[in-house]
Chains A and B, each alone.
Chain A
Protein backbone atom coordinates (compact mmCIF):
# COMPACT_ATOMS: atom_id res chain seq x y z
CA UNK A 1 0.00 0.00 0.00
CA UNK A 2 1.51 3.27 -1.10
CA UNK A 3 -0.17 5.14 1.72
CA UNK A 4 2.34 3.73 4.14
CA UNK A 5 5.26 6.08 4.36
CA UNK A 6 3.57 8.97 6.10
CA UNK A 7 2.95 7.11 9.32
CA UNK A 8 6.46 6.78 10.74
CA UNK A 9 5.99 8.27 14.18
CA UNK A 10 9.02 9.77 15.87
CA UNK A 11 9.16 9.53 19.61
CA UNK A 12 10.82 12.30 21.58
CA UNK A 13 14.45 11.65 22.41
CA UNK A 14 15.25 11.32 26.03
CA UNK A 15 18.57 13.04 26.82
CA UNK A 16 21.69 11.04 27.59
CA UNK A 17 20.54 7.75 26.15
CA UNK A 18 23.16 7.21 23.47
CA UNK A 19 23.68 3.66 24.62
CA UNK A 20 19.94 2.99 24.57
CA UNK A 21 19.71 4.57 21.08
CA UNK A 22 22.51 2.37 19.85
CA UNK A 23 20.83 -0.69 21.29
CA UNK A 24 17.49 0.24 19.69
CA UNK A 25 19.25 0.82 16.37
CA UNK A 26 21.00 -2.54 16.59
CA UNK A 27 17.65 -4.18 17.35
CA UNK A 28 16.02 -2.58 14.29
CA UNK A 29 18.91 -3.69 12.10
CA UNK A 30 18.64 -7.19 13.47
CA UNK A 31 14.93 -7.33 12.60
CA UNK A 32 15.66 -6.11 9.07
CA UNK A 33 18.57 -8.52 8.56
CA UNK A 34 16.51 -11.42 9.86
CA UNK A 35 13.62 -10.61 7.52
CA UNK A 36 15.97 -10.48 4.50
CA UNK A 37 17.73 -13.68 5.58
CA UNK A 38 14.40 -15.48 5.98
CA UNK A 39 13.39 -14.37 2.48
CA UNK A 40 10.54 -12.29 3.85
CA UNK A 41 9.56 -9.07 2.13
CA UNK A 42 10.37 -5.61 3.47
CA UNK A 43 7.30 -3.36 3.36
CA UNK A 44 7.13 0.45 3.15
CA UNK A 45 6.69 1.24 6.82
CA UNK A 46 9.33 -1.22 8.07
CA UNK A 47 12.60 0.20 9.28
CA UNK A 48 15.27 -0.18 6.61
CA UNK A 49 18.90 0.98 6.31
CA UNK A 50 19.18 4.34 4.56
CA UNK A 51 21.52 2.86 1.95
CA UNK A 52 18.95 0.14 1.17
CA UNK A 53 16.29 2.80 0.68
CA UNK A 54 18.60 4.95 -1.49
CA UNK A 55 19.62 1.98 -3.62
CA UNK A 56 15.99 1.06 -4.23
CA UNK A 57 14.98 4.62 -5.08
CA UNK A 58 17.82 4.85 -7.59
CA UNK A 59 17.06 1.48 -9.16
CA UNK A 60 13.26 1.76 -9.26
CA UNK A 61 13.40 5.34 -10.55
CA UNK A 62 15.83 4.36 -13.29
CA UNK A 63 13.58 1.46 -14.16
CA UNK A 64 10.47 3.67 -14.27
CA UNK A 65 12.27 6.25 -16.41
CA UNK A 66 13.36 3.49 -18.81
CA UNK A 67 9.76 2.40 -19.27
CA UNK A 68 8.47 5.83 -20.26
CA UNK A 69 11.51 6.83 -22.34
CA UNK A 70 11.23 3.42 -24.00
CA UNK A 71 7.87 4.49 -25.42
CA UNK A 72 9.60 6.89 -27.80
CA UNK A 73 11.63 4.66 -30.12
CA UNK A 74 8.63 2.42 -30.72
CA UNK A 75 5.99 5.14 -30.89
CA UNK A 76 8.13 6.40 -33.77
CA UNK A 77 6.64 3.59 -35.90
CA UNK A 78 2.98 3.62 -34.87
CA UNK A 79 1.87 5.78 -37.78
CA UNK A 80 3.92 3.73 -40.23
CA UNK A 81 3.11 0.21 -39.05
CA UNK A 82 2.72 -2.04 -42.10
CA UNK A 83 -0.81 -3.22 -41.26
CA UNK A 84 -3.72 -2.36 -39.01
CA UNK A 85 -3.00 -5.52 -37.01
CA UNK A 86 0.60 -4.49 -36.35
CA UNK A 87 -0.49 -0.97 -35.56
CA UNK A 88 -3.04 -2.04 -32.94
CA UNK A 89 -0.44 -4.36 -31.37
CA UNK A 90 2.19 -1.64 -31.26
CA UNK A 91 -0.20 0.87 -29.69
CA UNK A 92 -1.12 -1.67 -27.01
CA UNK A 93 2.54 -2.32 -26.34
CA UNK A 94 3.46 1.35 -26.04
CA UNK A 95 0.49 1.86 -23.72
CA UNK A 96 1.76 -1.04 -21.61
CA UNK A 97 5.13 0.69 -21.28
CA UNK A 98 3.38 3.77 -19.89
CA UNK A 99 1.55 1.49 -17.45
CA UNK A 100 4.81 -0.15 -16.39
CA UNK A 101 6.26 3.27 -15.72
CA UNK A 102 3.29 4.10 -13.50
CA UNK A 103 3.51 0.86 -11.49
CA UNK A 104 7.17 1.58 -10.89
CA UNK A 105 6.75 5.25 -9.97
CA UNK A 106 4.14 4.12 -7.43
CA UNK A 107 6.60 1.61 -6.00
CA UNK A 108 9.28 4.31 -5.74
CA UNK A 109 6.84 6.64 -3.99
CA UNK A 110 6.40 4.14 -1.16
CA UNK A 111 10.03 4.92 -0.28
CA UNK A 112 9.20 8.53 0.46
CA UNK A 113 10.04 10.28 -2.80
CA UNK A 114 7.49 12.18 -4.88
CA UNK A 115 6.75 11.54 -8.51
CA UNK A 116 7.47 15.16 -9.41
CA UNK A 117 10.87 14.91 -7.80
CA UNK A 118 11.66 11.80 -9.86
CA UNK A 119 10.45 13.32 -13.12
CA UNK A 120 12.45 16.44 -12.41
CA UNK A 121 15.57 14.36 -11.89
CA UNK A 122 14.95 12.58 -15.18
CA UNK A 123 14.37 15.86 -17.02
CA UNK A 124 17.56 17.41 -15.64
CA UNK A 125 19.71 14.33 -16.20
CA UNK A 126 20.30 13.62 -12.52
CA UNK A 127 18.71 10.19 -12.82
CA UNK A 128 19.32 7.86 -15.72
CA UNK A 129 17.34 5.48 -17.87
CA UNK A 130 18.53 2.39 -19.68
CA UNK A 131 21.04 3.43 -22.33
CA UNK A 132 19.43 1.05 -24.85
CA UNK A 133 16.79 3.68 -25.59
CA UNK A 134 19.40 6.07 -26.90
CA UNK A 135 19.64 4.05 -30.10
CA UNK A 136 17.37 5.01 -33.03
CA UNK A 137 14.67 2.86 -34.64
CA UNK A 138 15.68 3.19 -38.27
CA UNK A 139 13.33 0.69 -39.92
CA UNK A 140 10.13 -1.22 -39.13
CA UNK A 141 12.25 -4.27 -38.38
CA UNK A 142 13.68 -2.40 -35.38
CA UNK A 143 10.28 -2.66 -33.71
CA UNK A 144 10.51 -6.44 -34.03
CA UNK A 145 14.12 -6.51 -32.85
CA UNK A 146 13.27 -4.40 -29.81
CA UNK A 147 10.43 -6.71 -28.86
CA UNK A 148 12.51 -9.84 -29.27
CA UNK A 149 15.89 -8.70 -27.95
CA UNK A 150 15.38 -5.62 -25.78
CA UNK A 151 12.22 -6.91 -24.12
CA UNK A 152 13.77 -10.37 -24.00
CA UNK A 153 16.78 -9.01 -22.11
CA UNK A 154 14.45 -7.00 -19.88
CA UNK A 155 12.44 -10.13 -19.02
CA UNK A 156 15.63 -12.02 -18.16
CA UNK A 157 16.50 -9.16 -15.80
CA UNK A 158 13.01 -8.72 -14.40
CA UNK A 159 11.87 -12.25 -13.66
CA UNK A 160 14.27 -12.56 -10.68
CA UNK A 161 13.13 -9.10 -9.53
CA UNK A 162 9.69 -10.60 -8.84
CA UNK A 163 11.42 -12.09 -5.77
CA UNK A 164 13.14 -8.84 -4.79
CA UNK A 165 13.23 -8.26 -1.02
CA UNK A 166 11.26 -5.01 -1.29
CA UNK A 167 7.56 -5.89 -1.48
CA UNK A 168 6.15 -3.05 -3.61
CA UNK A 169 8.93 -3.43 -6.22
CA UNK A 170 8.46 -7.21 -6.37
CA UNK A 171 4.69 -6.82 -6.81
CA UNK A 172 5.15 -4.27 -9.59
CA UNK A 173 7.52 -6.65 -11.35
CA UNK A 174 5.05 -9.54 -11.23
CA UNK A 175 2.57 -7.39 -13.11
CA UNK A 176 5.20 -6.12 -15.55
CA UNK A 177 6.55 -9.60 -16.32
CA UNK A 178 3.10 -10.94 -17.16
CA UNK A 179 2.70 -8.19 -19.73
CA UNK A 180 6.24 -8.31 -21.14
CA UNK A 181 5.70 -11.79 -22.47
CA UNK A 182 3.30 -10.44 -25.09
CA UNK A 183 5.85 -7.75 -25.98
CA UNK A 184 8.54 -10.27 -26.71
CA UNK A 185 6.34 -12.63 -28.67
CA UNK A 186 4.88 -9.92 -30.88
CA UNK A 187 8.41 -8.74 -31.71
CA UNK A 188 9.54 -12.23 -32.54
CA UNK A 189 6.52 -12.80 -34.75
CA UNK A 190 7.08 -9.51 -36.60
CA UNK A 191 10.72 -10.43 -37.24
CA UNK A 192 9.76 -13.90 -38.37
CA UNK A 193 7.34 -12.45 -40.92
CA UNK A 194 10.13 -10.27 -42.31
CA UNK A 195 12.71 -13.03 -42.24
CA UNK A 196 10.43 -15.30 -44.27
CA UNK A 197 9.41 -12.46 -46.59
CA UNK A 198 11.15 -11.06 -49.63
CA UNK A 199 14.90 -10.80 -49.87
CA UNK A 200 14.73 -7.11 -48.97
CA UNK A 201 12.52 -7.82 -45.94
CA UNK A 202 14.87 -10.55 -44.77
CA UNK A 203 17.83 -8.18 -45.12
CA UNK A 204 15.95 -5.54 -43.15
CA UNK A 205 15.34 -7.99 -40.30
CA UNK A 206 18.98 -9.08 -40.31
CA UNK A 207 20.18 -5.48 -40.26
CA UNK A 208 17.98 -4.66 -37.26
CA UNK A 209 19.22 -7.69 -35.33
CA UNK A 210 22.81 -6.73 -36.19
CA UNK A 211 22.31 -3.30 -34.67
CA UNK A 212 20.34 -4.32 -31.54
CA UNK A 213 22.25 -7.42 -30.47
CA UNK A 214 25.24 -5.85 -28.73
CA UNK A 215 23.33 -3.00 -27.06
CA UNK A 216 20.91 -5.66 -25.73
CA UNK A 217 23.81 -7.54 -24.12
CA UNK A 218 24.93 -4.26 -22.54
CA UNK A 219 21.53 -3.92 -20.86
CA UNK A 220 22.70 -6.33 -18.16
CA UNK A 221 25.21 -3.76 -16.99
CA UNK A 222 28.98 -3.85 -16.59
CA UNK A 223 30.84 -7.13 -15.93
CA UNK A 224 30.65 -8.41 -12.37
CA UNK A 225 34.16 -7.33 -11.40
CA UNK A 226 33.38 -3.72 -12.42
CA UNK A 227 29.83 -3.48 -11.09
CA UNK A 228 29.97 -1.09 -8.16
CA UNK A 229 26.81 -1.97 -6.22
CA UNK A 230 26.18 -5.54 -7.30
CA UNK A 231 27.53 -7.38 -4.25
CA UNK A 232 25.62 -5.23 -1.79
CA UNK A 233 22.38 -5.46 -3.76
CA UNK A 234 22.73 -9.22 -3.83
CA UNK A 235 23.32 -9.36 -0.07
CA UNK A 236 20.10 -7.36 0.36
CA UNK A 237 18.33 -9.69 -2.09
CA UNK A 238 17.31 -6.76 -4.27
CA UNK A 239 19.27 -8.54 -6.96
CA UNK A 240 19.26 -12.31 -7.16
CA UNK A 241 21.79 -12.99 -9.92
CA UNK A 242 24.91 -11.22 -11.13
CA UNK A 243 25.04 -9.21 -14.36
CA UNK A 244 27.24 -11.75 -16.12
CA UNK A 245 25.07 -14.65 -15.00
CA UNK A 246 21.93 -13.03 -16.45
CA UNK A 247 23.75 -12.03 -19.64
CA UNK A 248 24.86 -15.63 -20.14
CA UNK A 249 21.31 -16.84 -19.54
CA UNK A 250 20.02 -14.45 -22.20
CA UNK A 251 22.63 -15.46 -24.79
CA UNK A 252 21.78 -19.13 -24.22
CA UNK A 253 18.09 -18.40 -24.76
CA UNK A 254 18.52 -16.08 -27.75
CA UNK A 255 20.96 -18.14 -29.82
CA UNK A 256 18.52 -20.95 -30.72
CA UNK A 257 15.72 -18.41 -31.16
CA UNK A 258 17.83 -16.62 -33.78
CA UNK A 259 18.32 -19.90 -35.57
CA UNK A 260 14.58 -20.54 -35.67
CA UNK A 261 14.15 -17.05 -37.11
CA UNK A 262 16.59 -17.84 -39.89
CA UNK A 263 18.75 -14.90 -38.81
CA UNK A 264 22.29 -14.75 -37.51
CA UNK A 265 23.64 -12.94 -34.47
CA UNK A 266 26.52 -10.57 -35.28
CA UNK A 267 29.17 -12.34 -33.24
CA UNK A 268 31.74 -14.61 -34.93
CA UNK A 269 32.76 -15.97 -31.51
CA UNK A 270 29.26 -17.13 -30.61
CA UNK A 271 29.24 -20.91 -30.32
CA UNK A 272 28.00 -23.65 -28.04
CA UNK A 273 30.55 -24.79 -25.48
CA UNK A 274 29.78 -28.38 -24.63
CA UNK A 275 32.09 -28.35 -21.62
CA UNK A 276 30.53 -25.30 -19.97
CA UNK A 277 27.02 -26.15 -21.06
CA UNK A 278 26.71 -22.56 -22.28
CA UNK A 279 27.33 -20.48 -25.38
CA UNK A 280 30.65 -18.68 -25.58
CA UNK A 281 30.42 -15.18 -26.97
CA UNK A 282 32.75 -12.39 -28.02
CA UNK A 283 33.93 -9.40 -25.99
CA UNK A 284 31.54 -6.49 -25.45
CA UNK A 285 32.62 -2.96 -26.41
CA UNK A 286 32.26 -1.28 -23.02
CA UNK A 287 33.74 1.95 -24.36
CA UNK A 288 30.59 2.37 -26.42
CA UNK A 289 28.42 1.55 -23.39
CA UNK A 290 30.11 4.17 -21.21
CA UNK A 291 30.00 6.72 -23.99
CA UNK A 292 26.25 6.30 -24.52
CA UNK A 293 25.73 6.40 -20.75
CA UNK A 294 27.63 9.68 -20.62
CA UNK A 295 25.15 11.19 -23.04
CA UNK A 296 26.89 10.67 -26.36
CA UNK A 297 24.55 8.07 -27.84
CA UNK A 298 22.76 8.78 -31.11
CA UNK A 299 19.50 9.88 -29.43
CA UNK A 300 20.23 10.98 -25.83
CA UNK A 301 19.46 14.60 -26.53
CA UNK A 302 16.33 13.87 -28.54
CA UNK A 303 14.83 11.50 -25.93
CA UNK A 304 15.13 13.97 -23.06
CA UNK A 305 14.03 16.96 -25.12
CA UNK A 306 10.93 15.10 -26.25
CA UNK A 307 10.17 13.93 -22.69
CA UNK A 308 10.47 17.45 -21.32
CA UNK A 309 8.28 18.82 -24.08
CA UNK A 310 5.61 16.17 -23.49
CA UNK A 311 5.61 17.06 -19.79
CA UNK A 312 5.38 20.78 -20.45
CA UNK A 313 2.70 20.35 -23.11
CA UNK A 314 0.63 18.39 -20.61
CA UNK A 315 0.73 21.13 -17.97
CA UNK A 316 -2.58 22.69 -18.98
CA UNK A 317 -4.34 19.33 -18.83
CA UNK A 318 -3.09 18.68 -15.31
CA UNK A 319 -4.04 22.18 -14.26
CA UNK A 320 -7.51 21.94 -15.78
CA UNK A 321 -8.20 18.59 -14.11
CA UNK A 322 -7.08 19.93 -10.75
CA UNK A 323 -9.20 23.07 -11.18
CA UNK A 324 -12.21 20.93 -12.07
CA UNK A 325 -11.68 18.79 -8.97
CA UNK A 326 -11.33 21.88 -6.77
CA UNK A 327 -14.53 23.38 -8.13
CA UNK A 328 -16.50 20.23 -7.41
CA UNK A 329 -15.15 19.63 -3.92
CA UNK A 330 -15.81 23.27 -3.07
CA UNK A 331 -19.53 22.86 -3.74
CA UNK A 332 -20.38 19.38 -2.52
CA UNK A 333 -24.12 20.10 -2.59
CA UNK A 334 -24.07 20.90 -6.28
CA UNK A 335 -25.67 18.26 -8.45
CA UNK A 336 -23.17 16.57 -10.75
CA UNK A 337 -24.44 16.30 -14.28
Chain B
Protein backbone atom coordinates (compact mmCIF):
# COMPACT_ATOMS: atom_id res chain seq x y z
CA UNK B 1 0.00 0.00 0.00
CA UNK B 2 1.46 3.32 -1.00
CA UNK B 3 0.47 6.93 -0.50
CA UNK B 4 -0.50 6.82 -4.16
CA UNK B 5 -3.65 5.08 -3.11
CA UNK B 6 -4.32 7.88 -0.67
CA UNK B 7 -6.35 10.44 -2.54
CA UNK B 8 -5.30 14.05 -2.92
CA UNK B 9 -7.23 16.73 -1.00
CA UNK B 10 -7.30 20.46 -1.50
CA UNK B 11 -7.17 22.46 1.72
CA UNK B 12 -9.05 25.73 2.28
CA UNK B 13 -8.43 27.85 5.35
CA UNK B 14 -10.58 30.59 6.85
CA UNK B 15 -8.00 32.81 8.48
CA UNK B 16 -10.50 34.57 10.73
CA UNK B 17 -14.22 34.96 11.17
CA UNK B 18 -15.74 37.23 8.56
CA UNK B 19 -13.38 36.13 5.75
CA UNK B 20 -13.94 33.39 3.19
CA UNK B 21 -11.99 30.19 3.07
CA UNK B 22 -9.05 30.46 0.68
CA UNK B 23 -7.00 27.73 -0.94
CA UNK B 24 -3.89 26.97 1.12
CA UNK B 25 -2.48 23.90 -0.61
CA UNK B 26 -3.00 20.18 -0.87
CA UNK B 27 -2.15 16.95 0.89
CA UNK B 28 -2.65 13.21 0.70
CA UNK B 29 -4.86 11.41 3.21
CA UNK B 30 -6.82 8.17 3.29
CA UNK B 31 -10.11 9.77 4.30
CA UNK B 32 -11.75 13.09 5.10
CA UNK B 33 -11.15 12.90 8.83
CA UNK B 34 -7.44 12.23 8.42
CA UNK B 35 -7.28 14.93 5.75
CA UNK B 36 -8.67 17.43 8.27
CA UNK B 37 -6.19 16.40 10.94
CA UNK B 38 -3.27 16.53 8.51
CA UNK B 39 -4.47 19.90 7.23
CA UNK B 40 -4.49 21.25 10.77
CA UNK B 41 -0.91 20.10 11.34
CA UNK B 42 0.31 21.24 7.95
CA UNK B 43 -1.47 24.53 7.33
CA UNK B 44 -2.44 25.95 10.73
CA UNK B 45 0.64 25.45 12.93
CA UNK B 46 0.76 29.19 13.62
CA UNK B 47 -2.89 30.01 14.13
CA UNK B 48 -3.40 30.69 10.42
CA UNK B 49 -6.98 29.55 10.60
CA UNK B 50 -10.20 29.23 12.56
CA UNK B 51 -11.87 26.84 10.13
CA UNK B 52 -10.72 24.28 7.56
CA UNK B 53 -12.29 22.70 4.49
CA UNK B 54 -10.83 19.66 2.78
CA UNK B 55 -12.15 18.74 -0.65
CA UNK B 56 -11.16 15.71 -2.74
CA UNK B 57 -9.16 17.13 -5.66
CA UNK B 58 -11.12 14.94 -8.03
CA UNK B 59 -14.33 16.75 -7.01
CA UNK B 60 -13.07 20.01 -8.49
CA UNK B 61 -14.07 20.96 -12.01
CA UNK B 62 -11.74 23.53 -13.51
CA UNK B 63 -11.97 25.67 -16.59
CA UNK B 64 -9.44 24.63 -19.17
CA UNK B 65 -6.38 26.85 -19.62
CA UNK B 66 -6.60 26.28 -23.37
CA UNK B 67 -9.97 27.94 -23.73
CA UNK B 68 -8.94 30.79 -21.47
CA UNK B 69 -9.59 33.54 -23.99
CA UNK B 70 -12.98 32.59 -25.42
CA UNK B 71 -14.23 31.50 -22.01
CA UNK B 72 -13.52 34.78 -20.26
CA UNK B 73 -13.86 36.99 -23.31
CA UNK B 74 -17.49 38.04 -22.79
CA UNK B 75 -16.37 40.19 -19.84
CA UNK B 76 -13.68 41.99 -21.83
CA UNK B 77 -15.92 44.22 -23.95
CA UNK B 78 -18.21 45.36 -21.14
CA UNK B 79 -16.31 48.15 -19.43
CA UNK B 80 -19.70 49.72 -18.58
CA UNK B 81 -19.85 47.20 -15.75
CA UNK B 82 -17.23 49.24 -13.92
CA UNK B 83 -18.02 52.46 -12.09
CA UNK B 84 -15.03 54.20 -13.68
CA UNK B 85 -16.78 53.92 -17.09
CA UNK B 86 -19.09 56.82 -16.25
CA UNK B 87 -18.25 60.50 -16.38
CA UNK B 88 -19.69 62.52 -13.54
CA UNK B 89 -19.40 66.31 -13.36
CA UNK B 90 -16.79 67.56 -10.91
CA UNK B 91 -18.06 68.49 -7.52
CA UNK B 92 -20.86 65.94 -7.40
CA UNK B 93 -20.47 64.10 -4.15
CA UNK B 94 -21.33 60.67 -2.76
CA UNK B 95 -21.44 59.04 -6.19
Contacts and interface: CB of A to CB of B under 8 A. Distances in A.
Interface of A: 1-4, 7, 9, 43, 45-46, 92, 95-96, 99, 102-103, 106, 109, 114-116, 171-172, 175, 179, 315, 318-319, 321-322, 324-325, 328-329
Nearest to B6: A322
A46 B65 CA distance: 6
30 contacts: A1-B57, A2-B8, A2-B10, A3-B8, A3-B26, A3-B57, A4-B62, A9-B66, A45-B65, A46-B65, A92-B45, A96-B45, A99-B41, A99-B42, A99-B45, A102-B27, A106-B27, A109-B26, A115-B4, A179-B46, A318-B2, A321-B29, A321-B31, A322-B1, A322-B5, A322-B6, A324-B30, A325-B30, A325-B31, A329-B31
B28 interface: yes
Nearest to A46: B65
A114 B4 CA distance: 7
Interface string B54-84: 0001101010111000000000000000000
Given A45-B64, A115-B4, A321-B34, A3 B27 contact: no
A133 B10 CA distance: 31
A179 to B, nearest CB: 8
Contacts of A109: 8, 26
Interface residues on B, range: 20 to 34
A272 B58 CA distance: 56
Contacts of B23: 1
Interface in B1-38: 1-6, 8, 10, 23, 25-31, 34
Contacts of A7: 62, 64
B54 to A, nearest CB: 13
Contacts of A103: 25, 42
A184 to B, nearest CB: 16
A1 B30 contact: no
B31 A328 contact: yes
